[in-house]
Structure 1
């Protein structure tokens, strides 16, 4: 449990934020804790606890209406992420969003806390493929919630063409140029029949939380338009090789998403080091 006076941006998060957004990161770090105190007081929150995060300050706290999560990031796309979060919450696949507050150097979101909230990446026994279907099914045939959302295609192309990409998974390096070039060809082919739709954009095991054994919740969307096939690809791409092919075939059938399209997205995401 964290005392109010001890609340601080974890050093690892501070370094990551400053490295990724050098123009606004230091200013964000200087004021974000004061902003947090204001929000905690506004919601009559007690027992705040800093939660693990990469690019923002995330704090859970008890309130008279139930446990909430307070999240701040200086990400310039934070407004888009809030737009997608709101759309996902309305479908019941993400926590209910209570508040969005935009500041000069960042954005706050306040939402229900998922309990027990264990990420899929920390589970010793994965959920059934049916639970992933239940989580993603409501996204099928949903339009993009805002026509101004950036596209997942643009974001991935930027990663595939960046020879000095520094936002990489731990232990990974930039993919070789031939692999990235082939992925760009696949991306162009996918774009030919793409219809911008509601998309979480980052349905990795660390952004899928458990409500109970077979009921899952999505958090921290990318803030782009995209398509369901991409979310399926990301959701299964981290599975071990023994379950990958059977899971991808099951999700393709149950969600009525073209199997070859999912495999193409898996290849693009791998080359882009998603």
Structure 2
């Protein structure tokens, strides 16, 4: 074994294959999107976000920004997930809007629908090879079709897109709070009103690419945390009571006490509310 290979193996400095794959994809994307820099004077930056798991950064956040045009393109890659999350944003005084700012942040699939293309598979190419690169090429096609948006002359009309969504899908476009967690917040408002809990982790506050087929809502006071875990697929929930000293977002369901569960129905939430309220009162005796 060569000395270099031995040192890399010893200290773990060799890049993981997942990181290599993402780096190669970014290189291919940059070549494809080069026109943004040469024709529209966008500046490319790459931000990465790491966590405690192996495989390199968890998120690769690619940004193309044009301050003069007040536009930004954001393309987010996940370490080990196929879907690519792409957005076009209108800046205000050079400040990025939040993902929930429906008038200034549009996902690429929304731009397609705005232009009359409604094809789910076009933005979710799950068939090999080159899952992600197929999505990158769709993004290129979209960007090439909106030059006056890219140069800052025009922008999208969210009201027009809402009308299209209502006519074709029966609901409005854009970001909305999750209805299940809205019910939980309303049903369990006594935690804040009577026991001085505060929400410290909120699924609705996560970025779109951090949300998934399940999520958590965490309440906390000085001593304990109450964790609501919801599975949207099975439409069920569990409630855990966890000592603050032992709490971690990744292990609360292992170290905590399960104090309620059920289906995500009004009846089951009300029943769980009674159980939780009684358990908290008993905890403080």
- Report the TM-score, using the length of structure 1 for normalisation: 0.32
The structure, 1 or 2, with the larger RCO (C-alpha pairs under 8 Å, 6+ apart) is 1
Larger radius of gyration: 2
Structure with greater proportional strand content: 2
